[in-house]
Amino acid sequence: MPGESKQFGRLGESIAAGHLKKNGYRILARNYRNKFGEIDIVARHKDVIVFVEVKARSSGGFGSSKAAVDKRKQKRISMIALGYLKQTRSMDARARFDVVCVDTGTGRPKVEIIANAFPLNYG
């Protein structure tokens, strides 16, 4: 059901945000939205602004979380990130794209942060 799917996604994002905080990230925004779409989490890790896509799975039935961020999605996330950097006057800041995979199929959630998951892709 669509409502359950959205609720599961929000749960995955909350788990991811908690894991990021434990690993030294400071959350700047959740569900940041502009004309290009929405990005799950914007954070700062040391001196880098990090744009985080969260992929939550309760089973392997839909494929791996890592594979879910294809080139088309990378381009969309890149455009959202550029919009954020312009809006916050942070165009000179170092930035990167991380993917956080949350697997809840094993009972206790397994969380993996993939730092520098992909390069800027706006072409």
Q: Is residue 107 part of a domain?
A: yes
Q: How many whole angstroms separate alpha carbon 39 and alpha carbon 58? A: 21
pTM as predicted: 0.87
Q: Is residue 123 part of a domain?
A: no
Q: Is residue 122 part of a domain?
A: no
Please list the pLDDT of the chain residue by residue as tens digits (123 residues).
456 666 666 788 999 999 999 999 999 999 999 999 999 999 999 999 999 999 887 765 555 555 668 889 999 999 999 999 999 999 999 999 999 998 877 678 889 999 999 988 766
- Range(s) of the domain holding residue 80: 2-114
Query: How many domains is the chain partitioned into structurally?
Result: 1
